Structure 1
């Protein structure tokens, strides 16, 4: 008989975490009428928030901590790589969050796959550190937002080469599990030694993941360059696709033909899927951590799709370039939690016709950045970090996550971080 592992003791600072997360729960809006799950109700209201861990980001330790923090902050979904170990890390983070705050809502777990190796989300940087000249200033290391490149001088004849930087060689290179394919290192290499290696997720392994009880949704990334490969992937997944509650399709803005592409994809999916469907409008992929300008493209994309009357049924969600400015840009465009009176929700009808035109926002690079800078404060001597073992850092990370999730969920206003400071830490 397996004895359940008891939850960790509620440390003093965890009391503050529990108080903050409980306030989030109390501040949640009334769910839509009917039998729809709370995640679907959030899409209907327009306050759905998804954490994107990264379709190619496979650092299980970071994924676990991100999932823990953003579960406490109240996200509705956590999107991760279609890899069993990464799925396990997400679920562990969710479970630890629930052990600290038992009333926390479990977010849906979504896995991301692609139908085409040309999709930028499914590639890794690669180079041989032996090819790197020792006088290189290592701009690749500096520009990487994921800390996925590490170059260090090796030892030669038992002597460190730091005293003579032109002796010896570099060792290290790309930390594969941390690279998520943003491509920022490619143009900055002064010797043009870095290349991108693309890949497609194995549909057989994906089908097996969809059969797990702890996988709730799937996202299929498509490049917009036709639908033949989407059709092939959909056929490969048809035997297990109805095990999940929601199917999302992530696609770029391809101009006036975008809605035609979406309608064709919907025609492929609709006869074989009985759950909810969602369209992820990917404005400027993997750029949310850059700054204010990055979010304009995804809001522009949303405005473009919203203006088209022939768009297919389903929920709509923003991604690509999303950050702390996205809510304000949506408000300026008149798209934040505004109702759409005409669109349905695919094969599962909502109880209310007042469905939000834009169901929510997915945060990726920016969400990882603001929590990641807290994780990096934990001293290296602790090794593989469990953030709940460092409650002051957990509290700080939760504050950062709440500052991003709160304006969408409505429990704090835009560009405001006073919420956690109001919580009694004693």
Structure 2
């Protein structure tokens, strides 16, 4: 069934449709959503491709829920919406409860519309990393007259000095904080600190044995490979059934490609799946604006032209948003025939694109998060499929983003 394209062609029209179902009648609501999303099921359209084919075609899209983001309700709802929008992979924290939430969202989406399942990825780190930290402070130490800039700047709504958010205590809501560090920079009294941590290799190995985890991503800071090798030694026996292994790294100048080759030499004997290099241009900044994506595109431009880089797909992250595809097109990187013909190996087949795809994190969460917040304030509901109007709003937002890479739009 070419369900994904039906959504694409008709999301705008669906969004204008008014439903009149009791909010507690979930069976009726689900039926209405199915009817709306399948309204054009008799029309011809191309079926969505498998994730690894998307990588080869250069239109792979990954949703980054956040390596430290552990709000189970949001992870579930985001996974549901972006599965319907057609992402190829959902990246989440290496935590059993978070993985369960992501898979629940995927399952609910596929119960609404029987489309192909995206891969589920978990993220771990080999050393201190911006993506694996949490802000913390004691709200009792905050001056009474503080203007609370930390609350205003937090993109995850993870700070509440008066405990307004339900049953949460004042301070940092740990499960919502994903370590962006913006609150540290604006605190006028230097009261906020960041606590870093590393995911445990043994616990991660157990998750990798699950049949609903398809991919692993290792975040490295690029300083050296000793800790990377140590982590890999703890995981290598658990990666046999994975479909994808990714390494996320920052740009470290002229030594970037050398570092990648060293890491690849550590990995190559143990993996028999696809491999990918996540180019983390400007971490956790995609929701800021147009300029945030420049570093990610510049990173991609440097790597795409490097002749001695190791095998593997290249995927952008860090600062990616609605302007990223436009920037890639300007540099002739988006879905362009590869100038490299030596990519064939047991790990990755030849690619039709210089860049395999794009991962969206903060920006993807922001545009759908606005709908989730509105739904909760207007209806009190927490599961987005219980409110068809909000579900369709969220799908439209997600389709606009994913469609920029997949080359479809929400115009009828």
TM-score by length of 2: 0.89
The alpha-carbon deviation at position 15 of structure 1 amounts to: 2.5
Picking from 239, 245, 255, the partner of 1:257 is 255
Residues 18, 100 of structure 1: 8 Å contact kept? no
Q: Identify unmatched segments of 5+ residues in structure 2.
A: 1-25
Bigger Rg, structure 1 or 2: 1
Q: CA separation of 1:43/1:194 partners in 2, compared to 1, >3 Å: closer, same or farther? A: same
SS in 1 for 2:358: strand
Partner of 2:45: 26
Picking from 310, 333, 342, the partner of 1:312 is 310
Partner of 1:132: 142
The alpha-carbon deviation at position 410 of structure 1 amounts to: 1.1
Aligned equivalents of 2:202 and 2:218: distance in 1? 14
Partner of 1:335: 333
TM-score by length of 1: 0.86
Picking from 297, 300, 303, the partner of 2:301 is 303
Partner of 2:36: 16
SS in 2 for 1:26: coil
Deviations 1:366-391 (A, max 9, x none): 00000000001114485560000000
Q: Identify unmatched segments of 5+ residues in structure 1.
A: 1-6, 32-37, 155-169, 413-417
Picking from 373, 378, 382, the partner of 1:376 is 373
Q: CA separation of 1:210/1:171 partners in 2, compared to 1, >3 Å: closer, same or farther? A: closer
Q: Do residues 220 (structure 1) and 218 (structure 2) align?
A: yes
Partner of 1:35: none
Aligned equivalents of 2:68 and 2:348: distance in 1? 33
Q: CA separation of 1:58/1:52 partners in 2, compared to 1, >3 Å: closer, same or farther? A: same
The alpha-carbon deviation at position 411 of structure 1 amounts to: 1.3
SS in 1 for 2:155: coil
The alpha-carbon deviation at position 331 of structure 1 amounts to: 0.1
Name which of structure 1's ranges 47-56 and 372-381 shifts more when overlaid on structure 2. Answer: 372-381
Q: Do residues 347 (structure 1) and 358 (structure 2) align?
A: no
Residues 218, 244 of structure 1: 8 Å contact kept? yes
Picking from 83, 92, 104, the partner of 1:92 is 104
Residues 126, 197 of structure 1: 8 Å contact kept? yes
Residues 110, 217 of structure 1: 8 Å contact kept? yes
Deviations 1:247-278 (A, max 9, x none): 00000000110000000000000011111100
Aligned equivalents of 2:178 and 2:298: distance in 1? 25
Aligned equivalents of 1:130 and 1:24: distance in 2? 61
Aligned equivalents of 1:346 and 1:199: distance in 2? 35
Picking from 58, 62, 67, the partner of 2:70 is 58
Partner of 2:92: 80
Aligned equivalents of 1:73 and 1:23: distance in 2? 19
Picking from 112, 137, 140, the partner of 2:123 is 112
Partner of 2:14: none
Q: Do residues 360 (structure 1) and 380 (structure 2) align?
A: no
Residues 271, 347 of structure 2: 8 Å contact kept? no
Residues 159, 172 of structure 2: 8 Å contact kept? yes
Residues 11, 391 of structure 1: 8 Å contact kept? no
Partner of 2:20: none
Aligned equivalents of 1:384 and 1:346: distance in 2? 49
The alpha-carbon deviation at position 345 of structure 1 amounts to: 5.5
SS in 1 for 2:269: helix
Residues 28, 409 of structure 1: 8 Å contact kept? no
The alpha-carbon deviation at position 11 of structure 1 amounts to: 3.5
Q: Do residues 239 (structure 1) and 258 (structure 2) align?
A: no
Partner of 2:395: 398
Residues 139, 188 of structure 1: 8 Å contact kept? yes
Residues 242, 273 of structure 2: 8 Å contact kept? yes
Picking from 204, 207, 212, the partner of 1:206 is 204
Compute the RMSD of aligned alpha carbons.
2.1
